[in-house]
Amino acid sequence: MSLRALGARSAILSFLPALIVFIAFWPIARPVEGVGDTFQFWYAGHLVATGGSAYDQQAWHAAGAAYGAVAANVAANCADPLGVICVWTYPPLTAWLFAPFGALPVTAGLLAVNVFVLVTLIAGVVAAALFFGPRDPSPRALVLAAAAASHPFVIDIRAGHFVGLLLLALVAAAYGLRERRAWPIAAGAIALALKPHVAIVVALAVPAALASRRAWWTIASIVGALALVTAVALLRSPESVGAIVSRGGAKVGIAWSTTWALADATGAPVIALAACGIVAFGAATLAVRSAPADRRDLTIVAVAAALSLVVTPYAQPYDFLLALPAFAAAAAAASAIRPPARTALLAVIALCIVVGTWSPIVFGQLSRAVAPGYAAVPIAALVLLAVALRAGRQATAPQPATVTAPA
């Protein structure tokens, strides 16, 4: 069989299961008029494109009457214009991202936002699975199919969020670290600045890795690029700082999927937070120390993304797609282990991606209560990554030579 035929067969084996899963879940994932936040992003861009402000809550309140059914979700959230849920807390840079969509008529603009979300989501998941994940077609196919079946993937499409763009940003940052290039890290930093509260540890870990190499010029160029873009956005929307600082903090209270919410639900929040922190940061440290030299930069970014979800004060289920690099890296490390341990570990990884993300939602629906168990997903990803890297390192370690006694 030719190399081209082998490559085609590998591609089909890798992507076909995910495609089948994607088609199967499409009826519940597809965007629905007035559901999700697609209109929210279009309208924020529209306000900017037409000279308004995305931080004017009265303008959000007026959107319901002005746009009808397509704005149903915004109308419900902003029935009280002073309500916490009506606050636009994204940085001004995010509104600028959607300004080109907002310049279009509402029907065309919403369609464009949906296409943008879907394309970047698929590209981000595929890029994360290929870059962080296993090279062998079978485990790669497992990761892609599990990601397509996960609740964050499905709800991200339905909710109309741009988490796929953030996955691409993580890939860019990891690529820049590995290849010693500044521009991919700068591009990734700007993209992550669209939703900085879910990338807190990434913003610390990447500069720390660069500082350990004394790459001061790289750090300066990345900070300069990010500062320039942010300054331009702030010049257009100076009111954003006061709005976010004065009103944004209250929105943290409606985030039910964070580690803080999980700890609070246990009845012993201090003990629960301490336990989550010890497990998460301990697993993260072990993972980075166990990573082979050629995958250490990738591991740092994957670990930092998962830890960001552990410490973030505000997150929704679609944000947990940022744990995918850690799961994919765990699958890559597991591929180096001999069966049956490899098969068992890959199965656990897939189950955590799928069952681990759907079970809190199902439990919440059945119990008619908020189920903050979602917060365990990134912790599970870190533990599995640490276990897989440690086991893979032991499996590939040179065995001591046996010495036979002379006859």
DSSP-derived secondary structure for 254-286: G--SSHHHHHHHTS-HHHHHHHHHHHHHHHHHH
What pLDDT score was predicted for residue 191?
96
The whole-chain average pLDDT of the chain stands at 89
Range(s) of the domain holding residue 344: 126-392
Cβ-in-10-Å burial (0-12, 13-18, 19+) of 273 comes to: middle
Give the span between the Cα atoms of 48 and 56, in whole angstroms.
11
Q: In this model, does residue 103 exceed pLDDT 90?
A: yes
Nearest to 131 by CA among 318, 386, 332, 300: 332
Residue 182 resides in a domain: yes
Q: In this model, does residue 364 exceed pLDDT 80?
A: no
Per the CB < 8 A criterion, the answer to whether 99 and 49 are in contact is yes
Does residue 169 or residue 82 have the better pLDDT? 169
| Rounded mean pLDDT, 97-123 | 96
Residue 297 resides in a domain: yes
For the chain, the domain total comes to 1
Give the span between the Cα atoms of 106 and 286, in whole angstroms.
50
Residue 229 resides in a domain: yes
pLDDT of 67-102, one tens digit each?
989 999 888 888 888 777 787 889 999 999 999 999
Per-residue burial over 204-234, b = 16 or more CB atoms within 10 Å of its CB, e = otherwise: ebbbebbeeeebeebbeebeebbeebeeebe
Residue 139 resides in a domain: yes
Look up tokens 């931080």; give the residue: 55
Residue 7 resides in a domain: no
Least confident interval from 74-83, 241-250, 307-316: 241-250
pLDDT band (50, 70, 90) for residue 3:
very low
Q: Which two tokens stand for residue 322?
A: 């940022």
What pLDDT score was predicted for residue 267?
84
Residue 68 resides in a domain: no
The DSSP element (H or E) to which 336 belongs, if any, is: none
What pLDDT score was predicted for residue 40?
93
Residue 44 resides in a domain: no
Give the span between the Cα atoms of 401 and 259, in whole angstroms.
47
| Rounded mean pLDDT, 275-282 | 96
pTM of the model: 0.92
Cis ω before 269 (30° cut-off from 0): no
pLDDT of 26-71, one tens digit each?
999 999 888 889 999 999 999 999 999 998 888 999 998 899 899 9
Residue 83 resides in a domain: no
Q: In this model, does residue 140 exceed pLDDT 70?
A: yes
Percent of the chain having pLDDT more than 70?
91
Per the CB < 8 A criterion, the answer to whether 165 and 124 are in contact is yes
